[in-house]
Structure 1
């Protein structure tokens, strides 16, 4: 179940990142809804990261990722490009944006 939720969140966030900035900037239109959706998904990602980061140091180890964010664990080596042994929320967000842009 956790794997399905993690996959769903990553897919949703990836899809939301693909929303053009011009669509997000439209006041009151569907862009406003898209912007709110992106904010919700980023909040969900932040919440999952915070729950998985059991040491509360802002760094997710491979073991923490395996326990709380399986999709991050699956792509851990790609996200941890500096081979530091941990990933940050910003690195995960950057990875998802790059992945979404490649689609």
Structure 2
């Protein structure tokens, strides 16, 4: 849960990076297993994506940035959208 909260906060910082075409490359220290465990814990209906309700249940702060993470606007966060936002956030932090 702590990992998820950190990821969401990093995602909030990354939103402006999307508009600037930040890379989709994972950072060297990205922990796929930890990310997957958090994803699975929040994907309660096991459909492979997070609805707004699932995401907000995992972290209420997601309500503020859900639409930014949901890049294609389909009302769900896909694993790819989530990872892209996380990677952009980490990239942005590295540039500071």
TM-score range, shorter chain: 0.5 to 0.7
Q: How many residues align?
A: 77
Per-residue deviation at 1:74? 4.0
Greater relative contact order (Cα < 8 A, sep 6+): 2
Equivalent positions of 1:1-103 (< 5 A) are: 2=1, 5=2, 6-8=4-6, 10=7, 18-19=27-28, 38=30, 41-70=31-60, 72-103=62-93
C-alpha distance after superposition, 1:54-84 (max 9, x if no partner)? 1111110000001124454442111112210
SS in 1 for 2:74: coil
Specify the structure having the higher radius of gyration (Cα). 1
Per the normalisation by structure 1, the TM-score is: 0.59
**Consecutive unaligned residues in structure 2, runs of 5 or more:** 12-25
Larger helix fraction of residues: 1
